[in-house]
Amino acid sequence: MIPATVPTEAIFNRGHLPDESRLVHSWDDEGEPLGAVAERASTLRKEGFKEVREHRQIVGVVPGGAG
């Protein structure tokens, strides 16, 4: 198992439901993403996914200038 050092998310196709995004906690030996199951972060699972991308998180905002 290889830990995920860059924040990454895997996008899962759920058929007729909207796609689901899950954070990648680590990678298996074949390069497949592993993520947490529900609230148990120590339990990892591997699923079929359609896309992996960098997880971009908003960390702050700057107010615009007045006037």
For the segment 12-67, what is each residue's pLDDT rounded down to a tens digit?
Answer: 777 888 888 888 888 888 777 787 655 554 445 666 678 888 887 778 888 887 65
What pLDDT score was predicted for residue 48?
A: 63
Rg (CA), the chain: 16
Q: Which of 18, 38, 34 is nearest to 26 (CA)?
A: 34
DSSP state, 23? E
Q: Which of 20, 52, 51, 53 is nearest to 37 (CA)?
A: 20
The structure's pTM equals 0.58
- Tell me how many degrees the CA angle 28-32-37 measures, rounded to the nearest 5: 80
35: left (phi over 0), alpha (psi -120 to 50) or beta: beta
